[in-house]
Amino acid sequence: MKVSYFSDKGRRESNQDFVTVRDINDDYSICIIADGMGGYELGEVTAELVSENIVTFLSNSKVKDASSIQKAINKANLAVRQLVEDNGKKTGATIGGILINQSSATCFWVGDVKIYAFRSPAMLFESTSHSLMNRLIRNGSFSDRNKAVKYKHVVTRSIQGDVEHSNADFYVVDEIRKGDQFLICSDGVDEVFEKSLIQKILLEAATMDEAASQIRRKCEVSSKDNFSLIALSL
C-alpha cells in the first residue's frame, strides 16, 4: 500500500484539520482526517483528540469492523464531552476514515469529510456528506440542488459530545484489488475539485505522489479553507 498525504491551513489563520496515517497492528492500518468544526473553538485540539481516541480504541479492540468503529467514535464523543465540560466552550469535529487490511477496506464518516474509492477506470464509491443541503434534497424540500447549496457546510452529524448525532455511515470494499485507490479529503479540497477532475488526475498521474501534488498545488491557489488529503493506492 502506498500513501500520500498533506494538510495545510490555506487562507485560514490556523489549521483545524488533523491527519492520521498509522499501522495499528501487523494486519490493519487506519487513515483518518478529522476536521475541527468552523465557528467553534478548540478546533485543532478537538480534531486531534477525536483521532487519537478512535485509533487507541481500535488498536485495543479484538474485533475490527463497523460496529467497533462506531464504538470507537462513541468513545471519542465522551472525550469531547469532557473537553467541553473542562473548558466551557462548544467544540466538535467531523471525520472521514478508512480501516484497511490485506483483504478489505472499511470506509466510515461522520459529517462532511469526503471519501472516494476508485477501481480504474471507474469510481466505486463517493460518500454522501451529512449536511443540511443533502437532507433537504433527500426529503424533497429542494428539487434544485443549486438552491440548496447554501446549506452545504451546515453539518447534521458530528462528534461534539452528543452520541445521538454522531452515527457513522459505512461503505465496505470486501475484496480489495491491486490498483484500487482511495481518497479522503476535507472540505477545503472538496470545494475546489469536482469528482470527475479528481478521477481524471488519478487516471493520468504516474504515481499517487504526483496526483497528490497536483491536487495540493490547485488547493494552494483556489481553496479558501484548510485543505487536507490522504491518497491510498494498493
Average pLDDT over residues 107-112: 97
**Distance of alpha carbon 106 from alpha carbon 97, whole angstroms:** 8
| pLDDT tens column, 192-233 | 998 899 999 999 999 999 999 999 999 999 999 999 999 999
DSSP letters, 48-92, are HHHHHHHHHHHHT-S--SHHHHHHHHHHHHHHHHHHHHHHT----
Average pLDDT for the chain? 93
Q: In what order do the strands lie in the sheet with 181-185?
A: 2-8, 227-233, 181-185, 114-119, 122-126
pLDDT score, position 159: 97
> What is the b/e burial string over 12-27, where b = at least 16 CB atoms within 10 angstroms of the residue's CB?
beebbbbbbeeebeee
The domain spanning residue 199 has which CATH number? 3.60.40.10
Greater confidence (39 vs 35) lies with 35
pLDDT score, position 163: 85
| pLDDT tens column, 53-92 | 999 999 999 999 999 999 999 999 999 999 999 988 899 9
Average pLDDT over residues 127-139: 88
Greater confidence (140 vs 234) lies with 234
Domain region containing 103: 2-233
Listed range (74-88, 114-128, 134-148, 178-192) with the worst mean pLDDT: 134-148
Measuring CA to CA, how many Å separate 116 from each of 7, 49, 165, 172, 232? 18, 24, 23, 12, 10
Listed range (23-32, 101-110, 146-155) with the worst mean pLDDT: 146-155
**Distance of alpha carbon 24 from alpha carbon 60, whole angstroms:** 9
pLDDT at 134 exceeding the cut of 90: no
Average pLDDT over residues 167-184: 96
Contact between 176 and 104 (Cβ < 8 Å): yes
Cell 443540511 locates to 132
Query: How many separate domains does the chain show?
Result: 1
Listed range (5-19, 40-54, 124-138) with the worst mean pLDDT: 124-138
Greater confidence (125 vs 153) lies with 125
pLDDT score, position 140: 76
Question: Which pTM was predicted?
Answer: 0.94
| pLDDT tens column, 144-155 | 777 677 878 889
